[in-house]
Structure 1
Amino acid sequence: MSRAPKPQNDEDLPRADQAPGAPHPRETAQIFGQDQAEQDFLTAFNSDRLHHGWLLTGPQGIGKATLAWRIARFLLATPPAEDGLFGAPPPVTSLSIDPDHPVSHRIHALAEPGLAPITRSYNDKGKLRDQIVVDDIRKLNRFFGLSATEGGRRVVIVDAADDMNTSAANALLKMLEEPPARTTILLISHQPSRLLPTIRSRCRTLRLGPLSPEDMQSALAQAGADLPENTEHLAALAAGSVGAALRLLNLGGLKIYAELIQILDTMPRLDRQRAMALAEAAAQRGAAEKFELLLTLVEVSLARLARTGATGKPPLPEAANGESAVLARLAADPQRGRAWADLSAEATARARHGQAVNLDPASLVLDTVFKMQDTASR
């Protein structure tokens, strides 16, 4: 007997549009480092030529979803302006809406009738799908059929549009081609190249960039994260992404990367005992997230080695104590940099393939480390 589908708004369940350990974007009071994107939207709004489709792009974890919910709150709380006795009203200068506004309260409670968030849903066995399916998009037909709320606006947030399967993407395309009146569709995309070209062409793009170390610290403080002593290491590994930074903090990523640099420092001889310990930690029961993070950090270390060889100097800031000296020794010239770049492509493909076919995590880690040792010895 199959279980009933789990409701997506149940706070006890993981949400596809919420990073582990972080508040949901609808609960994030302030956005940092994205003033230009916000201003670009306000310019369009004030010109009274607001496009019906918006594509919010940029690396994962930099605030795209926070901006989307901020735009939704603003649109639903701001009725269309009408010329008064003294002409047009002054232009709006901020997307900020009072937290005590009724729309703010309804959005926080996921009870705003003018807003439809679309994410990966749960199937009939209570498992979170790995794609946004066509039924998720078809729900919008009923949403569009309801009476308009305050101000006559409706807002749709699709997070992430990259997750749509082909049928879902085609269904959304029809809505973008013939959008209902006073409807704004906000598509969040980490990799817009994965979207249908026809979807991209029917949207106006808002490009968001990585956060500066200062903005990232402010965003992490807002999320209630405990910052490490050396925030430069976190900034280097997170590459301006608050989502990546939270993942690193929650899974001990700074310590894992520091250990990886220490193992690299023993090459080409290689401290096999330390390498075995790293591999065994990745293979522990329930350590799937840490294993995935380790693979990502190996890719980061190889990329930074390749960059060191290509540019003649290690990237700054350091991502671990003593990293610069290790990178400079192992990638002392462009030829060695190319060797590390070649290994990066090969090792990443091998590790991801092994992961896909459920090979032993410890074996995958050791295989990668031995190939790093081989490259270091050449």
Structure 2
Amino acid sequence: MKTDPDDIPEPDRVPGALHPRHTARLIGQDHAIADFVQAARSDRLHHAWMLTGPRGVGKATMAWSIARWLLSNGTNNDLTVDPDTPEARRIAALSESRLQLIRRPWDDKTSRLRAEITVDEVRKLLSFYHLSSSEGGRRIAIIDAADDMNVPAANALLKVLEEPPKDALILLVAHQPARLLPTIRSRCRTLRLMPMKPAQMGGILADQGIDEDAEALSALSDGSVGEALRLAGQGGLDRYQQLVDLFSTLPRMDRLAAAKFADTAAGRAGADGDPFDLAITLLDRFLIRLARAGLMGAPLPQAAKGEGALMARLSPNDWASRVWADAQARLSARARTGRAVNLDPAALVMDMVLELAQLPPAQSAPTAKG
């Protein structure tokens, strides 16, 4: 049975937030905006741009802002365009013939989004550039996210980049550029976006109707607006507080509290997000912040009450920092494997938490380098 298009989730939209094409203004990326505007006005605009930076800092919003600005013949230096222009309305409705969006497709057989961008999706660029060439003028493609391309899709894109059509512009949103083929990266000009500062984050969250602690969300999301919105929509701050409280019971971890946290990973993914993904994300952020604490001191601002004191105790030096960093890399890989083979989420999270409780820093971190 074919799924109604209105019921298909958008893979490039953060749950609970507007799609980036509906965001009128990109905040906090003035340097990146200035770099692109200067390049565009030089009349020698490169045919492919790779937008990089942490997930959720505005890379997709930047790509859509660029597309609106160029297709509307914008003149503002900040890439803003009147949303009532015909071009802006068509782009918002995904009906602009000079714009092609490439993203993970829906699979009617499994009633799920595909895990990768397939070669058939990238091949749409060939027909797009061929059919739209009769109209003349700029033609823009957005690939979000380029990291999601499988090997055949990446090879197909490389062929387009090697022989770019006239007046073509390809915008690649890349969360992890290292995952892309070196030959793709070498044919793109890089535009790096930076994490949001807490003050900027507060304004953006307020615009989205989020009234939670902006400093804590900024800290926990590493300045990623998209991640902050996702965490806010899934009760991320409360869950993270639960995790901090749990590890505060060390060296004798409260197993009932551990089981309660692990149980939060169970349940089906819905419109608000995936409970398992949230639990893994919070564990990952907790370990990263622990590792940083051993090198740079307790984090400020704190993402949860008591977090600073806990991290000062569990990660007092660079020896402990290395232990937590190694654990983060190891458990992150385990989580990816567990997801791939459909292990029980609650059992997997419980196993990870108990393993962390047995690490040397969790039991008795040394006071000198070891």
TM-score by length of 2: 0.90
Alignment match, 1:178: 163
Asked if 1:238 is matched to 2:221, the reply is: yes
Alpha-carbon offset, residue 204 of structure 1: 0.9
Q: How many residues align?
A: 359
Alpha-carbon offset, residue 92 of structure 1: 5.6
Correspondence for 1:207 among 186, 189, 192: 192
Q: What amino acid sits opposite 2:346 in the alignment?
A: A
* SS of match in other structure, 1:282: coil
Distance 1:123 1:286 in 2: 17
Alignment match, 1:277: 260
Alignment match, 2:19: 24
Q: Determine which structure has more spread, i.e. the larger CA radius of gyration.
A: 1
Change (3 A) 1:334 1:197: closer
Change (3 A) 1:151 1:319: same
Q: What amino acid sits opposite 2:65 in the alignment?
A: R
Correspondence for 2:343 among 356, 359, 364: 359
Alignment match, 2:210: 226
Correspondence for 1:36 among 5, 9, 31: 31
1:315-342: CA deviations, max 9, x gaps?
A: 1111101111111122233333333333
Correspondence for 2:320 among 318, 332, 336: 336
Q: What are the within-5 Å matches in structure 2 for residues 39-118 of structure 1?
A: 39-78=34-73, 93-118=77-102
| Gapped regions of structure 1 (runs ≥ 5) | 80-90
Distance 2:96 2:134 in 1: 9
Distance 1:124 1:11 in 2: 14
Alignment match, 1:317: 301
Distance 1:186 1:284 in 2: 36
Alpha-carbon offset, residue 273 of structure 1: 1.9
Correspondence for 1:191 among 176, 179, 182: 176
Alpha-carbon offset, residue 185 of structure 1: 1.0
Q: Are the counterparts in 2 of residues 117 and 156 from structure 1 also a CA contact under 8 Å? A: yes
Distance 2:325 2:100 in 1: 44
* SS of match in other structure, 2:106: coil
* SS of match in other structure, 1:116: strand
Asked if 1:377 is matched to 2:360, the reply is: no
Change (3 A) 1:340 1:216: same
Q: What are the within-5 Å matches in structure 2 for residues 243-282 of structure 1?
A: 243-282=226-265
Q: Are the counterparts in 1 of residues 221 and 228 from structure 2 also a CA contact under 8 Å? A: yes
Q: What amino acid sits opposite 2:154 in the alignment?
A: A
Q: What amino acid sits opposite 1:18 in the alignment?
A: R
| Gapped regions of structure 2 (runs ≥ 5) | 365-370
Change (3 A) 1:145 1:356: closer
Q: What amino acid sits opposite 2:169 in the alignment?
A: T
Deviates more, 1:265-274 or 1:143-152: 143-152
Change (3 A) 1:48 1:193: same
Alpha-carbon offset, residue 147 of structure 1: 4.4
Distance 1:156 1:286 in 2: 30
Deviates more, 1:320-329 or 1:145-154: 145-154
Q: State percent identity of aligned pairs.
A: 52
1:180-219: CA deviations, max 9, x gaps?
A: 2111111111111111111111111111111111222222
Q: What amino acid sits opposite 1:143 in the alignment?
A: F
Q: Are the counterparts in 1 of residues 143 and 172 from structure 2 also a CA contact under 8 Å? A: yes
Alpha-carbon offset, residue 22 of structure 1: 1.0
Distance 1:171 1:302 in 2: 38
Distance 1:351 1:174 in 2: 34
Distance 1:330 1:34 in 2: 35
Alpha-carbon offset, residue 148 of structure 1: 4.7
Change (3 A) 1:351 1:169: closer
1:221-262: CA deviations, max 9, x gaps?
A: 33x23221x322111101111111111111111011101111
Q: What amino acid sits opposite 1:72 in the alignment?
A: A
Change (3 A) 1:348 1:166: closer
Alignment match, 1:136: 121
TM-score by length of 1: 0.88
Distance 1:345 1:143 in 2: 41
* SS of match in other structure, 2:282: helix
Distance 2:67 2:202 in 1: 25
Q: Are the counterparts in 1 of residues 97 and 132 from structure 2 also a CA contact under 8 Å? A: no
Distance 1:284 1:348 in 2: 20
Q: What amino acid sits opposite 2:150 in the alignment?
A: N
Change (3 A) 1:137 1:42: same
* SS of match in other structure, 1:146: helix
Change (3 A) 1:64 1:285: closer
Distance 2:330 2:37 in 1: 45
Correspondence for 1:348 among 332, 341, 364: 332
Distance 1:19 1:290 in 2: 14
